[in-house]
């Protein structure tokens, strides 16, 4: 096994979860070998790009056979950090924050939500299952004491930057932003903006103009 490098290019990294999902579905159908052409069709890149992407993981296919699905799956899990547990806080105990705290799709990625934070005194002090809702004033100390790496932002857009600043000051490493607002952070902080409107835009085209050719 090669040493894991942090030099995987961002576009490649963003495709890894898609490869991961595709390989999982092949394995679910008991397909043990996958060609770069098949993988490329699944995620919409050509087979040259697939081979280039997978070479970053030290995964090599065999001519006439393809990639071993199980080996690929292991490499994805390692590179995507899926075998480790992660903790996170959710900022904003509204509907989206509550929904994400319950989202069962996160479990297989080992994500554990430690707490929700809100400023509404009617919410603070309550529990959401086994997750406490805490006052936003406690955010900094919880992030610091528990070394929480990830903050999930679900506050209304005008409040997003303020709570992001609080999390950054407390030493957060990564921000997952669901607020439809663009946020500014120091360069060392990782940000992922989850723009649900992107999915809608694609569907919108299909609805208006019909299904595209694949």
State which of positions 138-167 bind a second copy (CB under 8 A). 149-150, 154, 156-157
List the one residue from 11, 60, 137, 171 that touches a second copy (CB under 8 A): 11
Selection from 83, 25, 79, 21 nearest residue 54 by Cα: 79
For the beta carbon of residue 195, count every other beta carbon within 10 angstroms. 13
Q: How far is the CB of 166 from a second copy (least distance, A)?
A: 19
- b/e 81-104 (16+ beta carbons within 10 angstroms → b): eeeeebbbbbbbbeebbbebbeee
Return the number of the residue (113 or 139) whose C-beta is nearest a second copy.
113
Considering only residues 58 to 117 of the shown chain, the ones binding a second copy according to CB under 8 A are: 79-82, 84, 86, 94-96, 98-100, 102-106, 108-111
Q: Does 1 bind a second copy (CB under 8 A)?
A: no
List the one residue from 18, 73, 114, 170 that touches a second copy (CB under 8 A): 18
List the one residue from 30, 129, 186, 213 that touches a second copy (CB under 8 A): 213
Return the number of the residue (63 or 85) whose C-beta is nearest a second copy.
85
Residue 39: exposed, middle, or buried by beta-carbon count in 10 A (0-12, 13-18, 19+)? buried
3-state secondary structure of 212: coil
Considering only residues 23 to 42 of the shown chain, the ones binding a second copy according to CB under 8 A are: 25
135's enclosing H/E stretch is strand 131-135
Q: How far is the CB of 17 from a second copy (least distance, A)?
A: 4
List, in order, residues 6 or more apart from 110 with CB less than 8 Å away: 82, 83, 84, 85, 86
Return the number of the residue (5 or 65) whose C-beta is nearest a second copy.
5
Return the number of the residue (162 or 192) whose C-beta is nearest a second copy.
192
3-state secondary structure of 176: strand
3-state secondary structure of 12: helix
How far apart are the C-alpha atoms of 26 and 20, rounded to whole Å?
Answer: 10
Q: Does 171 bind a second copy (CB under 8 A)?
A: no
Q: How far is the CB of 68 from a second copy (least distance, A)?
A: 21
Q: How far is the CB of 93 from a second copy (least distance, A)?
A: 10
3-state secondary structure of 128: strand
Q: How far is the CB of 138 from a second copy (least distance, A)?
A: 22
Q: How far is the CB of 64 from a second copy (least distance, A)?
A: 26
3-state secondary structure of 91: strand
List the one residue from 141, 146, 184, 204 that touches a second copy (CB under 8 A): 204
């Amino acid at each position: 096994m090669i040493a894991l490098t942090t030099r995987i290019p961002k576009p490649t990294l963003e495709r890894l979860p898609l490869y991961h999902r595709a390989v999982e579905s092949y394995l679910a159908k008991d397909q043990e070998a996958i060609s770069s052409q098949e993988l490329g069709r699944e995620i919409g890149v050509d087979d040259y790009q697939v081979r280039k992407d997978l070479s970053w993981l030290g995964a090599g296919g065999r001519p006439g056979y393809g990639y071993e699905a199980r080996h690929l799956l292991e490499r994805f899990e390692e590179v995507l950090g899926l075998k480790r547990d992660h903790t996170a806080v959710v900022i904003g105990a509204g509907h989206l924050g509550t929904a994400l705290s319950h989202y069962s799709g996160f479990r297989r990625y080992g994500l554990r939500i430690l707490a929700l934070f809100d400023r509404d005194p009617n919410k603070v002090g309550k529990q959401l299952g086994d997750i406490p809702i805490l006052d936003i004033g406690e955010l900094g100390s919880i992030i610091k004491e528990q070394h929480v790496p990830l903050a999930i932002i679900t506050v209304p857009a005008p409040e997003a930057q303020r709570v992001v600043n609080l999390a950054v000051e407390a030493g957060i490493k990564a921000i997952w932003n669901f607020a439809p607002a663009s946020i500014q952070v120091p360069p060392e902080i990782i940000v992922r903006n989850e723009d649900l409107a992107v999915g809608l835009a694609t569907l919108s085209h299909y609805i208006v103009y019909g299904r595209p050719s694949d």
